[in-house]
Structure 1
Amino acid sequence: MAKRPAAPKKTLTAPNLAVLGADRLAGLLMEVAGGDALWKRRLRMELAGEVGAPDLALELDKRLTALGDSRVRVSWRKRPELIRDLQSLRRMTVDRLAELDARLAFDRMVGWFDLYPGLAARVKDPKGELALLFDGATGELAALASALGPEGAVPILSDALATRLSEWASWIGRGVGDLSPAVASALLIDLTRGKPRPTGRLALVVRKLAERSGDLDAWIAAIPDDDRARPEVGSVMATRLAAAGRAEEARAALEASRPVAPPSSRWSRKAEPAPPPPEPWLEAEIAVLDSEGRAVEADEARWVLFERTLSPDALRAIIARLPDFEDVAALDRAFAHAAGYFDPVKGLAFLMSWPALREAAEMVEARGAELRGGHEDTALWAARLSARYPKAALILLRARARTLIRLGSGMTDEVEGLIHEAESLATLAGDEGHAAFVAGLRTDMGTYR
């Protein structure tokens, strides 16, 4: 077997460049840096890093100060160069200085982030590239804070939030997933202990820190009282309290957010009823009932949820709790409900995804006139039913073709393919209406053109 030829020595790879030797590479770098200020700064910083962390920190400070003090407006032509400069500073801080001194690196990273307000005011950035650059560095900021630890990082982050809340609330919130639980917990305590209840952006940060540190009480305390009456908020509170084994508090949170009837109007003779609870509230009610040990009522609530939403998860939870044979009866009940669901397409989608193909085919044949072919999976459903239930598959293909024509698509390749498949299925199912179906499509083409 012939040997594979070696990689060309002219290819730009690190091993090939190493062959040039240190002196030659140094000369080439000096030549490149002579006409590029960014490269010159980068090389100076690399050399400073070889001397030690304080020297590298000093070089970083010089550039951070220059960028922060500048008032020169940056056009869209100059923006890419500025972004390259900021990326270089970020990499030197995260990749080089952090290895030498975590505290110095974290301080410079905070200084790098503090450049943003001034830069945003003088940089023409219609695409938002500058904001994306800073948002993308929040994970590295959190990692540096975690490496430094609570004692060093928390006072700096707390001060940043106190003096520059708008930007820092967003950055800490974005990076909280990369923040160590120890730092998150210490920052949470610093922001809340002995201080007024947080509001606005600070409350959002507190909730994210509480989630990261696992402090449920702090998370709840940061939710405004008015929001707790909203079903979408109260349901989350109730679910988390139930998961923590605090059933009584979970029940209180759930009931406080139960939808209520709108206030009666003096012009209305009849009071309006309370709106039905949203799906998340129903799911929370199940969790609360389970935490209270009310298993029978919890299963009844699961049936209510399923019958309203056709939630597969709710049905699986019901089935999992039933003994043998009873689960069969429960499935029959669920499939019958799905087949008669007020939205026939959603009911069919549930039956096909479970899967319950026999019940799906029976539903299609029984409610074919109600079905529309707008669902993107209609043709796929027909293909799955075609082998055993060709009549149901034929109904779905025809519905899909009619819908596409009535949407103005014309006789596209997709429609022609559906017609061809429908013809084959019509023969298999003993259906003699294919010619009339095609004639109807052509009539629709003229009507809906």
Structure 2
Amino acid sequence: MAKRPSGPKKTLTAPNLAALGADRLAGLLMEVAGGDALWKRRLRMELAGEVGAADLALELDKRLTSLGDSRVRVSWRKRPELIRDLQSLRRMIVDRLAPLDARLAFDRMVSWFDLYPGLTARVKDPKGELGLLFDGATGELAALASALGPEGAAPVLSDALATRLSEWASWIGRGVGDLSPAVAAAVLAALTTDKPRPIGRLALVVRKLAERSGDLDAWISAIPDDDRTRPEVGSVMALRLAAAGRPGAARAALEASRTPTPEERWLNAEIAVLEAEGRATEADEARWMLFERTLSPDALRAAVARLPDFEDVVALDRAFAHAAGYFDPVKGLAFLMNWPALREAADMIETRAAELRGGHEDTALWAARLSARHPRAALILLRARARTLVRLGGDLDEEVVGLIHEAESLATLTGDDGHAAFVSGLRRDVGTGRLLRR
């Protein structure tokens, strides 16, 4: 019996194909390329790349020009072939030409992106695959620009933004994270030096470039005056200016966006500005006021961290008492459970049982956490959850039945004799719900 060949050698892998030898592989490639124009172009480009960067760039230019000049409409059946062609060109630019000549590669990549507007006019693309292909290449464009450097890349990118803003604003914005700070700064300077204040989409790009290059003033200048009065914008401006050691400008930005009832992010910015102004005591008072208003755990931690020993314990007791009496009992309970302050949470549940509803998605989880040491509080939560679900859904579904069984166990454990009345109330609510749905 013939010996059975080993499996791994038949697996389609690069090492196994290499074992066939150059002559055999060349013959196979010629067979494949004979009926496939894309393969022919790819192989010609590979051969040109072996000759040199200029030859490969010439081959790429031929195909880029052909695609750019074509007016033939592409049906949905032909779209996959076109996308493969574009992907092949992209890979040849990035993987083959870029290591040979950064300048030539970057220029071809820009030309590749400039194909997009013409393609969208003639390619049937209901799924948006073409747009995703170009959006997905923005990181590689930025990497090529960074490799080329500010002097070579910045003029080209700034010209693209100046003359073809509608597409290039999106691409540069997407790829700015992969752009070197030096190139970002050079493009930013080209767009803003001795130029009118940017507006619209250009302003968005300028802000992203300014962030990447660390130019706070350019970032601020690109924010419209009307937007600066919005608390969500003014608070971010104030935070950045405070972090940059510019408390006067930070205060001005903050006050320009003040409202009668500031939101939490604005209040957080005010604390940062107070710190930058050297008003530490007022900053601590603001932290406490922020906690009292919002139950922000971060604000409380920051306030307590600045207190000496023993005073922090008193402050926490005060904070827990405030949360237990908070106007929104569910939010107060959520704070105590998540801190965690389970004893205080259990006391609150028993004290404010009539106010609690079981609509919070973590109610059953809270009950499970409390059941071992605070079973009465856990029982209250389980019953509240079951009542809420029945009133919302109107049936004793699997979750409600499970809550009933858990509540029965806790009722037995705590000596609570109200379980039968609780179940009867649920059944009554179920009946009422069914009548309402008729």
Q: TM-score range by the shorter chain?
A: over 0.9
1:302-313 counterparts in 2 under 5 A?
302-313=287-298
Q: TM-score, normalised by structure 1?
A: 0.93
Q: Which residue of 2 aligns with 1:38?
A: 38
Deviation at 1:448, TM superposition (A): 2.3
In 2, distance between residues paired with 1:38 and 1:348?
65
Q: Which residue of 1 aligns with 2:234?
A: 234
Give secondary structure in 2 for the equivalent of 1:407: helix
Find out whether 1:300 has 2:285 as its counterpart.
yes
Cα displacement string for residues 47-80 of structure 1 (whole angstroms, at most 9, x for unaligned residues) = 1111111111111111111111112222222222
In 2, distance between residues paired with 1:443 and 1:124?
59
Q: Which residue identity lines up with residue 45 of structure 1 in the other structure?
A: M
1:8-407 counterparts in 2 under 5 A?
8-259=8-259, 275-407=260-392
Tell which deviates more after alignment, 318-327 or 358-367.
358-367
CA separation of 1:236/1:63 partners in 2, compared to 1, >3 Å: closer, same or farther?
same
Q: TM-score, normalised by structure 2?
A: 0.95
In 1, distance between residues paired with 2:150 and 2:123?
35
Q: Which runs of 5+ in 2 are unaligned?
A: none
Give secondary structure in 2 for the equivalent of 1:158: helix
Deviation at 1:6, TM superposition (A): 6.8
In 2, distance between residues paired with 1:302 and 1:398?
36
In 2, distance between residues paired with 1:27 and 1:441?
79
In 1, distance between residues paired with 2:129 and 2:293?
45
Cα displacement string for residues 164-185 of structure 1 (whole angstroms, at most 9, x for unaligned residues) = 0111111111111111011011
Tell which deviates more after alignment, 67-76 or 196-205.
67-76
CA separation of 1:59/1:446 partners in 2, compared to 1, >3 Å: closer, same or farther?
farther
Tell which deviates more after alignment, 100-109 or 423-432.
423-432
Q: Which residue identity lines up with residue 140 of structure 1 in the other structure?
A: E
In 1, distance between residues paired with 2:32 and 2:408?
71
Give secondary structure in 1 for the equivalent of 2:210: helix
In 1, distance between residues paired with 2:423 and 2:125?
55
Q: Which residue identity lines up with residue 131 of structure 1 in the other structure?
A: G
Deviation at 1:92, TM superposition (A): 1.1
In 2, distance between residues paired with 1:446 and 1:83?
60
Query: Identity over the aligned pairs, expressed in percent?
Result: 87
In 2, distance between residues paired with 1:376 and 1:39?
57
Q: Which residue identity lines up with residue 30 of structure 2 in the other structure?
A: M
Deviation at 1:370, TM superposition (A): 2.0
Give secondary structure in 2 for the equivalent of 1:84: helix
Which residue, out of 430, 433, 439, partners 2:415? 430
CA separation of 1:362/1:99 partners in 2, compared to 1, >3 Å: closer, same or farther?
same
Deviation at 1:296, TM superposition (A): 1.0
Kept in 1, the 8 Å contact 2:394–2:429? The answer is: no
In 1, distance between residues paired with 2:102 and 2:335?
54
Cα displacement string for residues 86-139 of structure 1 (whole angstroms, at most 9, x for unaligned residues) = 111111111111111101110011111111111122222222221111111111
Deviation at 1:142, TM superposition (A): 0.5
In 2, distance between residues paired with 1:342 and 1:73?
64
CA separation of 1:124/1:368 partners in 2, compared to 1, >3 Å: closer, same or farther?
farther
Q: Which residue identity lines up with residue 338 of structure 1 in the other structure?
A: A
Deviation at 1:249, TM superposition (A): 1.1
- The ranges of structure 1 where at least 4 consecutive aligned residues each deviate by more than 6 angstroms after the TM superposition are none
1:1-12 counterparts in 2 under 5 A?
8-12=8-12
In 1, distance between residues paired with 2:84 and 2:389?
50
Give secondary structure in 1 for the equivalent of 2:125: coil
Deviation at 1:191, TM superposition (A): 0.9
Q: Which residue of 2 aligns with 1:264?
A: none
Q: Which residue identity lines up with residue 8 of structure 2 in the other structure?
A: P
Question: How many residues end up aligned between the 2 structures?
Answer: 430
Deviation at 1:148, TM superposition (A): 0.2
In 2, distance between residues paired with 1:195 and 1:79?
42
In 1, distance between residues paired with 2:189 and 2:80?
40
In 2, distance between residues paired with 1:6 and 1:372?
67
Kept in 1, the 8 Å contact 2:243–2:276? The answer is: yes
Q: Which residue identity lines up with residue 300 of structure 2 in the other structure?
A: L
In 2, distance between residues paired with 1:172 and 1:46?
29
CA separation of 1:78/1:446 partners in 2, compared to 1, >3 Å: closer, same or farther?
farther
In 2, distance between residues paired with 1:363 and 1:117?
63
CA separation of 1:7/1:359 partners in 2, compared to 1, >3 Å: closer, same or farther?
farther
Cα displacement string for residues 352-382 of structure 1 (whole angstroms, at most 9, x for unaligned residues) = 1111101111111122222222222111111
Give secondary structure in 1 for the equivalent of 2:147: helix
CA separation of 1:33/1:399 partners in 2, compared to 1, >3 Å: closer, same or farther?
farther
Q: Which residue identity lines up with residue 360 of structure 2 in the other structure?
A: H
Q: Which residue of 2 aligns with 1:272?
A: none
Q: Which residue identity lines up with residue 441 of structure 1 in the other structure?
A: L
Kept in 1, the 8 Å contact 2:64–2:112? The answer is: yes
In 2, distance between residues paired with 1:345 and 1:311?
14
In 2, distance between residues paired with 1:44 and 1:444?
77
In 2, distance between residues paired with 1:441 and 1:25?
76
In 1, distance between residues paired with 2:103 and 2:422?
76
In 1, distance between residues paired with 2:208 and 2:377?
50
Kept in 1, the 8 Å contact 2:229–2:256? The answer is: yes
Find out whether 1:446 has 2:431 as its counterpart.
yes
CA separation of 1:76/1:406 partners in 2, compared to 1, >3 Å: closer, same or farther?
farther
Q: Which residue of 2 aligns with 1:421?
A: 406
Which residue, out of 397, 403, 410, partners 2:395? 410
In 2, distance between residues paired with 1:390 and 1:96?
69
State the superposition RMSD in angstroms.
1.5
Give secondary structure in 2 for the equivalent of 1:277: coil
Q: Which residue identity lines up with residue 367 of structure 1 in the other structure?
A: R
Q: Which runs of 5+ in 1 are unaligned?
A: 260-274
Deviation at 1:7, TM superposition (A): 5.2
Deviation at 1:409, TM superposition (A): 6.5
